[in-house]
Amino acid sequence: MAKPQQTPLFGRLAVIGIGLIGSSIARAAREHNLAGSIAVADASEAHRRQAAELGLADAVHADAADAVRDADLVMLCVPLGAYAAVAAHIGPALKPGAIVSDVGSCKQSVIRDVAPHLPAGVAFVPGHPVAGTEHSGPAAGFAALFGGRWCILTPTPDTDPAATEKLRAFWAACGSRVEMMEPRHHDLVLAITSHVPHLIAYNIVGTADDMETVTQSEVIKYSAGGFRDFTRIAASDPTMWRDVFLNNREAVLEMLGRFTEDLIALQRAIRWGEGDALFDLFTRTRAIRRAIIDAGQETAAPDFGRGAASPTAGSAAPAAAKPAKPKAG
């Protein structure tokens, strides 16, 4: 676990949007002493109330512009579809020298929607912590969410290298392994590793729900196998994932095209009894699973839906925030 900073990296941190990721950033910043003070903002009154009750910040705001005033680091943690409007709103309130970043899983659209609204003298370092659970809301966050997980930064050619380095240090202090990547390449990689798998999960669960020959009770009763794992993914936040597919459509459609071609080949192998082709594919994919475990991105421990703990398990208890007396702003 990363040790707390002796001196905060940033004087004031503003987190806009306090769902799972935003609230986890606030908790991690508090636990690791990454900011002298923390301000959060959310359009939801219920989220603001929860943030105050949980002690996530020193100040809780309804207006994002109020939260970012005097902030040295601003983290955008809202759905991708809201980025342009939020950036336009907070732009005039940003102070010179501030760093603006985000947590969205599509980077080309983020750069398109945010960069034009930032004033001169404000550094923009797009980012993506590759971590999460199927749960959402301020109470779902926990400081250890980013521990041992990748955080990808996609600075533009205009980004100040010093700002990129400071943000890298922030995520490293949260326990993340930080990687730099070109925005378009990021979107292609995430399309196949995250976006298309989610789309497949949504589709499979939806198909099962639509099947008239299988009752709902049978779907639930026999969901201890692969279907159960798909339902976990398909339980992810609908707003967030709607915006992901709309904002990374080109990369997702490209990966879906490749997936469809491979699926047709697999269908043909089953139809014609090509056992060797099936065996070869399954052997290759099994090796991928082992490689992911060896890379520390998963554990080999059995998990049959009985609450096995893991760094990113939804059942993990949120890390307690240090005592604070948040005030509504």
pLDDT in tens, the chain (329 residues): 566 777 899 999 999 999 999 999 999 999 999 999 999 999 999 999 999 999 999 999 999 999 999 999 999 999 999 999 999 999 999 999 999 999 999 999 999 999 999 999 999 999 999 987 778 889 988 999 999 999 999 999 999 999 999 999 999 999 999 999 999 999 999 998 888 888 998 888 888 777 756 666 677 777 666 787 888 888 888 888 899 899 889 989 999 999 999 999 999 999 999 999 999 998 988 888 887 777 766 667 655 444 443 433 333 333 333 334 434 44
Please give the class, per CATH, of domain 10-181+316-328. alpha beta
* Domain edges within the chain: 10-181+316-328, 185-294
10-181+316-328 matches 185-294 in fold: no
Distances (CA, A) of 111 to 117, 185, 267: 10, 14, 40
Residue 204 pLDDT:
85
Amino acid at 319: A
> Which one-letter amino acid corresponds to residue 144?
A
Q: Find the helix or strand (DSSP H, E) in which 128 lies.
A: strand 127-129
Percentages helix, strand, coil for the chain (3-state, rounded to 5) are: 50, 10, 35
Q: Is the pTM of this model over 0.85?
A: no
- The DSSP output letter for 28 is H
Alpha-carbon distance of 323 to 327, in angstroms, equals: 13
Indicate the DSSP class of residue 176: P
CB 81 within 8 A of CB 104: no
**CA 269 vs CA 256, 257, 266: distances in Å:** 20, 19, 5
Q: Please give the CATH number for the structural domain made up of 185-294.
A: 1.10.3660.10
* Count, residues in the chain: 329
Q: How many CB atoms lie within 10 A of CB 87?
A: 25
Which two three-digit tokens encode residue 49? Answer: 């109330």
Are 64 and 84 spatial neighbours (Cβ–Cβ below 8 Å)?
Answer: no
- Number of other residues whose CB lies within 10 A of the CB of residue 289: 11
Whether the CB-CB separation of 86 and 110 falls below 8 Å is answered with: no
